[in-house]
Structure 1
Amino acid sequence: MNLVEFLNPNTEKFNSKPAIGFKKADKWKDLSWRDFRRMVFKTANALKSLGISADDKVAIYSDNSAEWIVFDLAILALGAVTVPIYSTNNGEQAEYILKDSGSKIILVGNQEQYDAAFEILNKEGSLQQIIVAKKSIWIKKDRSIYLEDFIKKEAETFDIISKEADDLATIIYTSGTTGVPKGVMLSHGNFTECFQAHFDFFKFKNFENEVSLAFLPLTHVFERSWTLLCLYGGAKVCFLENTKLIAHALTEVKPTMMCAVPRFYQKIYAGVNEMVASGSDTKKKIFNWAIKTGSELAELKRVERKVPLSLQFKNNIANLLVFNKIKNKMGGRLWFMPCGGASVSPEVTQFFDALGAHVTVGYGLTETTATLTAFPFTQYQHGSAGISLGDTQLKIGENNEILAKGSGIMKGYYQQPEETAKVFTEDGWFKTGDAGLIDEKGNLTITDRIKDLMKTSNGKYVTPQPIENLLSNDNYITQAMVVAEGKPYVTALIIPNFDALKDWIEKMDIPFTNWQEIVNSETVKEFYRLKLDEIQKGLSGFEKVKKFVLMPSEFEIGTGEITPTLKVKRNVVLNKYSALIDNMYAS
């Protein structure tokens, strides 16, 4: 079954109901299921007219948009294969993916992407045509056409090409924290089995009434799988093109569902705690009382025990006084919030539980069509990554590596049989590269990436992620990268939260010059030293960051320092800032 088959029954059921939302001229617009299917089918016919047929590769190089998902579904409806390229990839990275996949057509979303694609088009290779999502992009006439013009004269009906479960649907090139990107091959069955596993696991009610905000990059398996699942189930999906406008979009769209990475929740957690810390004693008392009340109620719900009326009444007051103000900044309706891509500390998930805005933590990889495990609605274990979904089987192998089997596991890496063989055991278990443990109730706890485990020169093993999470839970720290491998003690490169730090230096009457001078200021460094002492109180001596460098700017996706899901590429950062790191160990 082609995973796009849901278009027909959903259009019959929901015809004039909104399928997707998008922003045009600063206003949110809707596209009904009827018009959404019509756009997909016209695009599929246009691609067919260009000679695209089953198993051909077609690329998408764009930020999130309505055009992105329409083009994706049109490619799949044709039986062709979608090759997403991160919108932040430069021309060289895009060229590698286009050549490796043999993509014939590409959809681009902005001027920079068009210019890069046009340069590739004029080199010898498989690329034949550029489709341009927006009329605001200036194009040359040579083998370039606006999407609107591309589909204008095409028929509105289309027979979706039948596919087998094992047939290739997409090749997703891993952004990867190490090495050359590899093309992960996912099938139609990988997706449809994944969808069904989620519906069986969560048993959603009236799912067609939900509204999801697509905020993470659609190129990433997490958002792509979730968005397709939402559409599969008849929910409406709104596409946010500019992620910097997330705060506005939340209050405008008022989503009921949204997937995000831990950093999103860490920032809210840290911001609220900092605001409370700087408030009056009365406000602190009210907040602490509200959190205590919310936590008691959340814990009873977690273990499926009856909530006393008196506690429910107190929680209603806590909502009025504290929680609703926070939840309204997230739109006021969010209740299902899948979270993945990195580990998240239990303090953060417990905080959101207390608010009554439960975060559903999960674990998975591109190679597993995202979700292997997730928090169920009750009996979940804070600090874990939940229990397995669907037919997923997990076990712990050598070096505590998490091994997986199930319907979500990829077909392999595109045209890389040797690399594929490396990640499977002889009896077919997929090697995740993550270390973890499974308790007697089936809860999976991720301890760290195996490659990230560090051994100091004193023979102590340091797992960086929990330390980095602890640091970045603070409002004054956006990101931290721990260094310890082969070193006598732990150090860190710290990215300050520049907004919070700017407010602090203003209060301290420190004149702003530039960030390089500010982060090198002894006053600022002492502020962070004291902060780290406080944050690290609970750590063992050998785990504590002894020295640190404050960075004058954030790690960049474009320079390869972080992945599009904000994970630090340790090797890149270690090489780029080796002099700064060496200096921390020089004295």
Structure 2
Amino acid sequence: MAGMDEHLSAAPAGAALIPPLLEATRHKHAELIFLPRDSPQQEGEAWSFARFHDEVRFLAAALLSLGFERGQRIGLFADNRRAWILVDQALAATGLVSVPRGRDTAPAELQMIAEHSGCSAVFFEDEEHAAPMRTRLPQLRCWTLDGDGADSLQQLLQLGRELFARGEAESLLLQAREAIEPEDILTIVYTSGTTDSPKGVVLTHRNVRSNVDAACAVLDIEPGGRMLSILPAWHMYERIKEYVALARGCPIIYTDTRRLKNDLRELSPQLVAFVPRIWEQLAAGLKARLEEAPRYKRALLAPVFALGARVAAGKAGPLTRALHQRLSRTLLAPLWKALGGQLRIGVSGGSALPVEVDRFLVSLGLPIVQGYGLTETSPVVSVRDPQHNRAETVGAPLPETEIQIRSPEGAVLAPGENGEIWIRGPQVMRGYYRDEAKTRAVLDDNGWLHSGDLGHIDQGGELSILGRCKDTIVLKSGENVEPEPIECQLRTSPWIHQVMLVGQDKKQVGALVVPDYERVAKEASHGEEPKIRLHQTLRQEFDRLLGEGSAFRPVDRVGPFHVMDKPFSYEDGTETETLKLRRKVIHQSFAREIEAMFETGEAKMRGRL
């Protein structure tokens, strides 16, 4: 295993670097609009690719003039906005290493990240965000993206303009640009830590550029196609999408949950990338509208669903797919209008999309493609082909990417067998920053990454995800239960908003359930105790979704359960930024409730014997 030194020698190769992406797009699409908005909350002046290219050069020149050198780490602790990608690209252009994180990260965690990565300076969102960190990190140079004071992004940009005016910038930029090599570190991304403390994932220029090129090759994205941006920019899932937009000459439109519905309808994006929670909410709304529609309207939609079932099963040829699309856009015109009418690709990633939701959206004719990846793989490993969009899978590996399914002993398994997903390819990280032991635990000498995810590959070479190895619940009987597929199935219930399975070393699986409280309030019976009625309804839903006739085993069925008083959330630390459950935190925070739930359940079982 290579050591975690700052740079590895390699022959310069522009095709394996990030800066040439902007340079090439500036040359081909100078006047196309790249950033119509400043942020989700602020419109601002629209920037073309030419304007963005100039601003990146101003900032890059300013940083070099202040003495920052290739390989130094610079923190970027801010939210998704124009200034974020401006700083990001300026750091890449100078050979500096970005260390990104969101502004809503706890100060103690930001301090840990800055200190562990050895940051020389940090960009913060604003002075309110920067002030407490100046006290914690007095040795660091700090700038703010907002404002125009002495320590602001605007002052750095002004310094850069002055350097260009004096003719001092070009030589600085050229020298820095020529020094960057493909194996230089581009970014250190600290993982969100669903089961462990954050680790600094080291990604090189070659890692990320290979992923951009592969994604562009697989997804047919035309220059000028509008992309909505709603996820945290520091997360590699969102970041790679923005790099693809940069490479393909596509505008990025920043939005948020408050503006999303209107922006979809009014701005007509061609590409969106959401986490499953957003797709689940969309599917739930569509199902409710279909259920409320008159019977004759539902009958009119029968051909759409009939053809859609074939498409979702991967059994439709080009003519069938084309007919399905034509019928969908005609008979479901209000749906397409609500999505802007021009959506060509909707990506789901970050975690597993429930199978029933996946099938439903594809059967409607929506161009939903599910992908799979990790921060450690820059991040994309596989994605479904829009022209062969079979639901339930996450597609075939990207070009130059290998996937194997292995047993716990490391033996390669045959198609259809379940095991751990191992990955090898140009996008696989160099390792974890300053942590050789954890690097060796997941990355072998032949470049194979143990993903920690469970899955299988079908005869056609497409990958399906089952969950995380660490999340496997081993019951007292020795039976293994994979919680994620069961949780995905339960979330298709209109009564269940969130759910987490528990039960390690117990007789049966239990669940922590967050119900859809709006539905509970709306449909609560006046003649019965609401709490009793809710528990009865949830038990019926568990039986309906996991009982006889389902694809689940008896051992997968939920026994005792506890209804949560409030949702899991990023704000209270029980979810990550991409809405994954922090299982370890939840187990620790609700240990009493979990134990009491099982004690009550076992007492009831004894009472029936």
TM-score normalized by the length of structure 2:
0.86
Partner of 1:414: 433
Mapped partners of 2:48, 2:315: distance in 1: 38
Mapped partners of 2:61, 2:446: distance in 1: 43
Given the alignment of the two structures, is residue 534 of structure 1 paired with residue 544 of structure 2, yes or no? Answer: yes
Mapped partners of 1:411, 1:210: distance in 2: 33
Given the alignment of the two structures, is residue 81 of structure 1 paired with residue 97 of structure 2, yes or no? Answer: yes
Cα displacement string for residues 219-241 of structure 1 (whole angstroms, at most 9, x for unaligned residues): 1111101111210121111123x
Match of 2:229 among 211, 214, 234: 214
CA contact (8 A) 2:32 2:224 kept: no
Partner of 2:378: 369
Report the Cα offset of residue 408 of structure 1.
0.3
Report the Cα offset of residue 393 of structure 1.
1.0
Report the Cα offset of residue 540 of structure 1.
2.5
Partner of 2:155: 149
Q: How many residues align?
A: 560
Partner of 2:284: 270
CA contact (8 A) 1:302 1:380 kept: no
CA contact (8 A) 1:54 1:80 kept: yes
Given the alignment of the two structures, is residue 343 of structure 1 paired with residue 359 of structure 2, yes or no? Answer: no
Match of 1:487 among 506, 527, 544: 506
Mapped partners of 2:127, 2:288: distance in 1: 40
CA contact (8 A) 1:267 1:473 kept: no
Mapped partners of 1:48, 1:509: distance in 2: 69
Report the Cα offset of residue 451 of structure 1.
0.7
Partner of 1:128: 141
* 3-state secondary structure, aligned to 1:169: strand
Partner of 2:31: 16
Report the Cα offset of residue 566 of structure 1.
0.9
Mapped partners of 2:526, 2:68: distance in 1: 63
Report the Cα offset of residue 386 of structure 1.
0.9
Cα displacement string for residues 368-417 of structure 1 (whole angstroms, at most 9, x for unaligned residues): 11111111123454212211112111112233211111100101111111
Cα displacement string for residues 393-445 of structure 1 (whole angstroms, at most 9, x for unaligned residues): 11122332111111001011111111111112343311111122222221112
CA contact (8 A) 1:213 1:253 kept: no
CA contact (8 A) 2:499 2:513 kept: yes
CA contact (8 A) 2:130 2:144 kept: yes
Mapped partners of 2:86, 2:51: distance in 1: 11
Please tell me the residue identity of whatever aligns with 1:338: V
Report the Cα offset of residue 490 of structure 1.
1.4
Please tell me the residue identity of whatever aligns with 2:92: L
Given the alignment of the two structures, is residue 352 of structure 1 paired with residue 361 of structure 2, yes or no? Answer: yes
Match of 1:546 among 556, 559, 570: 559
Report the Cα offset of residue 45 of structure 1.
2.0
Mapped partners of 1:99, 1:459: distance in 2: 43
* 3-state secondary structure, aligned to 1:195: helix
* 3-state secondary structure, aligned to 2:259: helix
Please tell me the residue identity of whatever aligns with 1:451: K
Report the Cα offset of residue 576 of structure 1.
0.5
CA contact (8 A) 2:312 2:390 kept: no
Mapped partners of 1:181, 1:493: distance in 2: 25
Partner of 1:514: none
Report the Cα offset of residue 305 of structure 1.
4.3
Mapped partners of 1:284, 1:549: distance in 2: 37
Cα displacement string for residues 517-570 of structure 1 (whole angstroms, at most 9, x for unaligned residues): x9x722332232223332223132221112222212111213321111111111
Mapped partners of 1:350, 1:88: distance in 2: 35
Partner of 2:212: 195
Mapped partners of 2:109, 2:376: distance in 1: 20
State which drifts further: 105-114 or 350-359: 105-114
CA contact (8 A) 1:453 1:463 kept: yes
The answer for unaligned runs of 5 or more in structure 2 is 1-13, 409-418, 601-609
**1:132 to 1:343, Cα distance in 2 relative to 1, 3 A:** same
Mapped partners of 2:247, 2:328: distance in 1: 37
Given the alignment of the two structures, is residue 334 of structure 1 paired with residue 351 of structure 2, yes or no? Answer: no
CA contact (8 A) 1:300 1:307 kept: no
Report the Cα offset of residue 365 of structure 1.
0.6
Cα displacement string for residues 19-62 of structure 1 (whole angstroms, at most 9, x for unaligned residues): 12225675475211111111111111222233222111111111
Match of 1:558 among 571, 586, 591: 571
Given the alignment of the two structures, is residue 423 of structure 1 paired with residue 439 of structure 2, yes or no? Answer: no
Given the alignment of the two structures, is residue 226 of structure 1 paired with residue 245 of structure 2, yes or no? Answer: no
Partner of 1:32: 48
Mapped partners of 2:314, 2:439: distance in 1: 43
* 3-state secondary structure, aligned to 1:434: strand
Partner of 1:291: 305
Mapped partners of 2:374, 2:239: distance in 1: 13
* 3-state secondary structure, aligned to 1:64: coil
Provide the aligned C-alpha RMSD in A: 2.6
**1:227 to 1:532, Cα distance in 2 relative to 1, 3 A:** same
Partner of 2:6: none
Please tell me the residue identity of whatever aligns with 2:286: V
Report the Cα offset of residue 287 of structure 1.
4.7
CA contact (8 A) 1:194 1:390 kept: no
Match of 2:63 among 40, 44, 47: 47
Report the Cα offset of residue 277 of structure 1.
3.1
* 3-state secondary structure, aligned to 1:492: strand
Indicate the percent of aligned positions where both proteins have the same amino acid.
25
**1:198 to 1:71, Cα distance in 2 relative to 1, 3 A:** same
State which drifts further: 428-437 or 341-350: 341-350
Given the alignment of the two structures, is residue 62 of structure 1 paired with residue 75 of structure 2, yes or no? Answer: no
Alignment of 1:505-516 (within 5 A): 505=524, 508=525
CA contact (8 A) 1:19 1:235 kept: yes
Report the Cα offset of residue 279 of structure 1.
4.6
* 3-state secondary structure, aligned to 2:319: coil
* 3-state secondary structure, aligned to 2:119: coil
